[in-house]
Structure 1
Amino acid sequence: MFNSLTGTITGKFPKQIFIDTGGVEWDICIPDSNLDMLPTVGSVCRVFTFLQHTETAMQMYGFASADERTLFFDLMKVEGIGAKAAVKIMSSVSSARLMQVLDDGDLEMLEKIPGVGKKTAGKMLLALKGKLSLRETPSVVRISPEVPFNDVVISLVSMGYDKRLVEQKIALLSETLQNDAAFAGKTQKEKEDALFRRAIVELS
């Protein structure tokens, strides 16, 4: 139903992030490892989502990339691992490290991961060993301080756009828009939102 949400980060907490999308603030459960991949509060970002709907509750889960979400789905295929347990596991170990442990068949290391006992570790090896892969591993994007509107650049690069092209585009757009009285009168957050939307259109 929902593939992803793009909006402004309004709060970051352990295993939780708030994102405002045009006046609607979403409360999203997210692994701590993925939380660290996203930019700071006040930045615009894209989060890949999964909505779990049960008879008693609804919970939105978020991930820094489609690959991270796929790993979440793969973990839930293991008997005994539900959504909350998968988030706990992903919060305790990076995706790359988890796949290495599984590929090595390191049962002892698996058992040390919070939320994974001896029985679950065995089931994970049986179900997932040699079957996981990441096309790319997201990381925190570092942008040089002199680049204008750093948070917008970070958000766009995190979405997969080329860093050099993004920096050039944001620098050009910000210089052009600064001469616009309406843009100059906006708050910093409004300027970032306007730049983000404009850049998405032009980069696409």
Structure 2
Amino acid sequence: MIGRLQGLLVDKQAPEVLIDINGVGYEVQLPMTSFYELPDVGNKATIYTHFVVREDAQLLYGFANTSERALFRELIKVNGVGPKLALAILSGMTASEFAQTVSRDDASALTKLPGVGKKTAERLVIEMRDRLKNLTIDGANEPLALEATAAASANKDVEGDAIAALLALGYKPQQASKAVAKVLSPELNSEDVIKLALKSML
């Protein structure tokens, strides 16, 4: 089991990153809530991981802190929720926001996330209500170790990067394009646009 990675951030293409550890590059998929906290390429970071082995692939999912990873692990136990959908859920809202949504029995808020239908949303509310009681969701438990703060950088492909990230998270092309166009602004980098686009669809 690979539980944590600490190394040099080589590449960032939402929602995936490449982190170099002693010459070995690990591809890791992160929810956007964790992706926002990453430093710029070329800096070091520590990412808490969940390792999935399938017949056709070995996949690493990364998180900013252990509480977010714990929530991910509980989500994939829910019938009909796989790693990809769990990642999309945590990209659309933070762990604390998800916990609040479940505590309010607000299934309708969950249906706004890609891939979450009415039945899945209701199942999430029912099954996660008790599981969340055993988790500490405060967003401050063992935060992502950054050795450099993330800085906004100019990117001429901001719109394309943002749309590609939303497509990777499960949104439809038209839905992604519309959301990005709604929030696109010259002073924003791709991460800002992705974040605002996701919020605009909730």
- The TM-score normalised by the length of structure 2 is 0.66
Correspondence for 2:136: 134
Correspondence for 1:169: none
Q: Which ranges in structure 1 are unaligned for 5 or more consecutive residues?
A: 142-150, 156-204
CA contact (8 A) 1:102 1:125 kept: yes
Q: Which secondary structure state, in structure 2, belongs to the residue aligned with residue 152 of structure 1?
A: coil
Query: What displacement does 1:33 show?
Result: 1.1
CA distance in 2, matches of 1:72, 1:24: 26
Correspondence for 2:147: 152
Name the % identity.
Answer: 32
Map of 1:41-190 to 2, 5 A cutoff? Answer: 41-132=41-132, 133-138=135-140, 152=147
CA contact (8 A) 2:40 2:149 kept: no
Deviations along 1:65-96, whole A, 9 cap, x unmatched?
11111010011111000011111111111111
Correspondence for 1:146: none
Q: Decide whether aligned partners of structure 1 residues 153 and 17 sit closer, same or farther in structure 2, where only a CA change above 3 A counts.
A: closer
Q: Which ranges in structure 2 are unaligned for 5 or more consecutive residues?
A: 151-202
CA distance in 1, matches of 2:43, 2:26: 15
Q: Decide whether aligned partners of structure 1 residues 138 and 114 sit closer, same or farther in structure 2, where only a CA change above 3 A counts.
A: farther
Letter in 2 for 1:91: S
Deviations along 1:112-140, whole A, 9 cap, x unmatched?
1222110100110110125324354159x
Q: Which secondary structure state, in structure 2, belongs to the residue aligned with residue 81 of structure 1?
A: coil
CA contact (8 A) 1:16 1:29 kept: yes
Q: Which secondary structure state, in structure 2, belongs to the residue aligned with residue 9 of structure 1?
A: strand
Q: Which secondary structure state, in structure 1, belongs to the residue aligned with residue 62 of structure 2?
A: strand
- 4+ residue stretches of structure 1 with deviation over 4 A? none
Structure number with greater CO (CA < 8 Å, separation at least 6) is: 2
Q: Which secondary structure state, in structure 1, belongs to the residue aligned with residue 111 of structure 2?
A: helix
Letter in 2 for 1:152: E
- The TM-score normalised by the length of structure 1 is 0.66
CA distance in 2, matches of 1:63, 1:11: 16
Deviations along 1:32-67, whole A, 9 cap, x unmatched?
111112222111111111111111111111111111
Report the count of equivalent residues.
145
CA contact (8 A) 2:99 2:137 kept: no
